[in-house]
Structure 1
Amino acid sequence: MEQTEIAREQGAPTASILAEQAWEGKVRKVFSWIVSVYLCVVFGAFPLYFHNYYYDILVSKYQFYWLSTVAMLASCLIAAIVFACMDLKRFGGAHVRRFLGAFRLTELKKQPFAYKALAVFWALALISTVLSDYVYESFWGNEGRFSGLFLITLYVLGTIVISKYGRMRKWYLDVFLASSVLVCLFGITDYFQMDLLGWKKGVSNEQGNLFVSTLGNINTYTAFVALTMAVACGCFVSERKVGRRIWYYLVSALAFFALITGQSDNAYLSLGMLFAVMPLFLFTTWRGIADYGILAATFMTVIKVVDTVNKVYADQVIGLGGVFGVLVRYRYLEGVVVLFWILAGILCVWKRKMEQTNPESKLGRWIWRGWCAVLILGCLAVAFVFYDANLGGHAERYSALSQYLVFDDDWGTNRGYCWRIGWQSYRELPFLHQLFGFGPDTYGILTWDFRQDALDRYGVFYESAHNEYFQYLVTMGPLALASYLAFLGSACVRMCRKWKECAWILAPVLAVLCYGAQAVVNINLPIATPIMWAMLAIGLTLTREKAEQAE
């Protein structure tokens, strides 16, 4: 501790040093306890909370989150004031001076890049709000999805307080997964049209089938389940205790099932991210490769199970369309499942053999490099297909997948139209608004001139861009988008650097990446998004603790 080191340098007596150490430990314990209670509420209670079923699900979730976060911040502030008064009395305000000294410019420059990017992001959100023609709406986000400056501020402050003053405990993730199991089970029963919660009484099937579990819209549900899947898989591949591995494996399988039956094509983005990124961590050991094989085989098995369920209970389930509808109807699916399990079995046997005969052996980099080459070639192939289908003039080559590859107004359930009117409206803004945006969460106001046209064409109007990154671009400006991406990227890199020291940090990393993949076509809502920010915060908490231990 810096304070006790100073005390020693000043020749303070041993008793004084011990008293100061006890004081510091007490302060840390109190703040850690406040953060622990808050994380239990956000991870355990928040996903299950509701007020008036689906009718006010967004409002009730938003109110629950902001009240919980404000309560946590207020508790920390009260504790800080109490400790400051006690410090003035016992230590002459030495700790308060040290704390305030941390805000000097020279000290702030020492902060990790992730925190600097986060501060810039918040500052740009503030500037965007102040310069907006709709300051009130920009602050509260009441004309959108409540993701205005107020909520952004809570995300930022919550992340800083948790990561700087919290203590990371793996059971936080278990609390989240336990809550998620209930969310997934309710969602799966909704797929069977059982309506165990009784939330869909008096609602038509066409409308009711778009709302799932305790979260609302199927896209929001899918984003949340993607976080669950990522955390469960990350914990499974990093855990060594058999009992806990079984727990994480079962949750992973349940999340796969819930994600597929969630009926949203957004899920394939997070699934693609998960299975593309995991090998970058796992393909350095035979154990990692075997675990990856088990998860891949499990996912294929779940697809087959869903196919069987759809056939046996055809008159009870909602049914699948889109990408997952194609997968479950694949004629050779059963053979693919068997092949995957054979490969997984071979990998497990080989892993066990290597552990017994040559436990010190290390896997060469050739498999890892091979996977990197596959990823690069895959990205290039996807880029070429999109180019060829849209700019190359060969859309007819991809007629079977045109709804996914050819960009027009109808692409992505009319997201093409939503993005087009947003870009057109943004281009007509004055330069200052182009630089700093129209104001946080004011997309509906920005595209107001197209509201009647949207209603005439699709029967809906758009309050959100249905693309988190594009939303930040047009409502907060390119600088805010760049700082947000810099924060996410640098935070993930910072966590990845500690992966060798603490393998289960992979769970929050995968959660952020899977959320980020879906954010390309999803709305930033105070339902799944707070979980992503909390995952980021606990990941950064762990990196801080590892850095402190190294010192």
Structure 2
Amino acid sequence: MDFLAPGQSGGSPHCPGNGLLLLLLCTAVYGLIALFSSGGIVPLFYRVLVATGCVVTLLSWLNYWMIDPLDAYYAFLPEKGELFLGTVGNINFYGALLCLCVPLAAGAYLQGTGKKQPWRYAAALLLCSGLIPAGSDGAWLGCAVAVLALCCTQNTTTHVLARLCRLFAGLSACAMVTRLLCTVLPFRAELRTVSAGLGRPLTGGCLLLLSALGAWLLARKPSRHAAVAMRVVCIGLFVLCAAAFLAANLLTSVPEWLSFLHFDERWAANRGYAWQKLWVIYTEDMTPLQKLFGLGGDAVKARLNPDIESIRYMTLLNGDIFDSAHNEFLQHLVCGGAAGLFCWCGFLFTALRRGFRNFPPLGAALLGYAVQSFFSISMPGVFPLVFVLAALAGTAPSPPATGNTARVVAAGGLLCVAGVLMMLFS
């Protein structure tokens, strides 16, 4: 199975046109769900997707500790098995799945009440903990942005923020325990970037204590609305991050602690090289008509590797060639032109607006995917779920489905999961 971006018409001589075929099928699914779905089945789909994500995350943790019950990756990829977790594929693809599942689980826990709260907390924490072995910076950023956006909605109270602090405290504890177990148990790959920092005793311990203290202080007082305060905090964080990025790229002398934000060809695991080259191709090498409608499917792979010298340089720089932009928006720009990028951004904007209006956790999930897709590519195991969630975002809220409807939806969800697993391991 080729993991292709939607703008690609074929990355393999054996599967010509599969990228465009995938996009066509996803569009058909979107239309069918938009026509026949109702708001009552959305919570049921949440549960099916969250449960599936939990199963995949359990398998991913087993894979991380060198246990492969499905005998799927390490038997066939002994030299590159550290790049694969669970049933989705590459760690970036698994991270994309987490960006869809974490906001749904976190939303159920943060806004939920009743006897099921411990189970909701366990599911949310398990899915969040999957970010540790995945180690994908795009997934960490996507999940963080999605959960923060969820906390900016109107229903946010100080007690909701207390639950968020408990969730982050649990995540910090998981990271530190993982780092400790890595000293005595065999593991597949070293903890990376955010996962490694969170697992350090000093960093993780301080964050754990601060989160626990924040949860206690916020929970002991009567609940009050906190949406406005969270929006101010999030705007402040965005301004600080933007200022730090500009400083890292405009100052002649960059402080060491800002160097990771300095954009060059080695930036973001060598994505900077591909992005710079594709931007030059779009702005300087393409005709006005090509800029409007793109170069067509699989154009990115062909333009990134036009000759043997380019292939050798990319292999020397990255260890392997890039067959895509590792940025869905740039991929659409080159393959589909400005028109294609405008359509994709319009689709996402409409789905996000509807999602946050009708089902905030669903809107947050789509936002998390959009953020991580800026650093990754789409693939058949996750990309269709974006269209399913986008279609469900347009349905009006209604009472949860019960009786036969609930059984039909649950059975359909299980059949979909079974079908995906059969495709992946047949």
Q: TM-score range by the shorter chain?
A: 0.7 to 0.9
Indicate if the aligned counterparts of 1:145 and 1:441 stay in contact, CA closer than 8 A.
no
- What's the counterpart of residue 539 of structure 1? 393
Q: Distance in 2 between matches of 1:284 and 1:167?
A: 26
- What's the counterpart of residue 243 of structure 2? 384
Indicate if the aligned counterparts of 2:82 and 2:188 stay in contact, CA closer than 8 A.
no
Normalised to the residue count of structure 2, the TM-score between the two structures is: 0.83
* 2:34 is the alignment partner of 1:178: no
**One of 488, 498, 519 as aligned partner of 2:373:** 519
Structure 1 position 308, deviation (Å): 2.9
- What's the counterpart of residue 288 of structure 2? 431
Structure 1 position 465, deviation (Å): 0.5
Post-superposition Cα deviations, 1:393-418, rounded to whole Å, max 9, x if no partner, equal 223x1x3453x311111111111111
Indicate if the aligned counterparts of 1:441 and 1:471 stay in contact, CA closer than 8 A.
no
Q: Where is the helix percentage greater, Structure 1 or Structure 2? A: 1
Q: Distance in 2 between matches of 1:151 and 1:203?
A: 26
Q: Distance in 2 between matches of 1:288 and 1:451?
A: 56
Note the residue ranges of structure 1 that are not aligned, 5 or more in a row. Answer: 1-55, 63-124, 130-136, 355-362, 499-504, 547-551
Assess, with a 3 A threshold, how the Cα gap between structure 1 residues 293 and 451 changes in structure 2: closer, same or farther: farther
Indicate if the aligned counterparts of 2:106 and 2:147 stay in contact, CA closer than 8 A.
no
Assess, with a 3 A threshold, how the Cα gap between structure 1 residues 469 and 326 changes in structure 2: closer, same or farther: same
- What's the counterpart of residue 198 of structure 1? 71
Higher RCO (C-alpha under 8 Å, 6+ residues apart): 2
Assess, with a 3 A threshold, how the Cα gap between structure 1 residues 182 and 390 changes in structure 2: closer, same or farther: same
Note the residue ranges of structure 2 that are not aligned, 5 or more in a row. Answer: 400-426
**One of 231, 239, 262 as aligned partner of 2:112:** 239
Identity of aligned residues (%): 26
- What's the counterpart of residue 340 of structure 1? 211
Indicate if the aligned counterparts of 1:278 and 1:292 stay in contact, CA closer than 8 A.
no
Assess, with a 3 A threshold, how the Cα gap between structure 1 residues 201 and 496 changes in structure 2: closer, same or farther: closer
* 2:127 is the alignment partner of 1:255: yes
- What's the counterpart of residue 497 of structure 1? 357
**One of 290, 294, 304 as aligned partner of 1:447:** 304
- What's the counterpart of residue 199 of structure 2? 328
Structure 1 position 330, deviation (Å): 4.7
The AA in structure 2 aligned to 1:389 is: A
Structure 1 position 203, deviation (Å): 5.4
Q: Distance in 1 between matches of 2:219 and 2:174?
A: 20
- What's the counterpart of residue 227 of structure 1? 100
* 2:323 is the alignment partner of 1:463: yes
Q: Distance in 1 between matches of 2:179 and 2:347?
A: 40
Indicate if the aligned counterparts of 1:145 and 1:464 stay in contact, CA closer than 8 A.
no
5 Å-filtered alignment, 1:64-213, equals: 138=9, 148-168=19-39, 169=41, 170-202=43-75, 206-213=79-86
- What's the counterpart of residue 297 of structure 1? 169
- What's the counterpart of residue 144 of structure 2? 272
Structure 1 position 280, deviation (Å): 0.4
Indicate if the aligned counterparts of 2:65 and 2:188 stay in contact, CA closer than 8 A.
yes
Structure 1 position 441, deviation (Å): 4.3
Assess, with a 3 A threshold, how the Cα gap between structure 1 residues 175 and 372 changes in structure 2: closer, same or farther: closer
The AA in structure 1 aligned to 2:64 is: Y
- What's the counterpart of residue 12 of structure 1? none
Q: Distance in 2 between matches of 1:202 and 1:524?
A: 25
Structure 1 position 537, deviation (Å): 1.6
Q: Distance in 1 between matches of 2:212 and 2:94?
A: 29
The structure having more radius of gyration, on CA atoms, is 1
- What's the counterpart of residue 405 of structure 1? 261
* 2:347 is the alignment partner of 1:487: yes
Indicate if the aligned counterparts of 1:218 and 1:263 stay in contact, CA closer than 8 A.
yes
- What's the counterpart of residue 403 of structure 2? none
5 Å-filtered alignment, 1:30-41, equals: none
Q: Which moves more between the two structures, 268-277 or 199-208?
A: 199-208
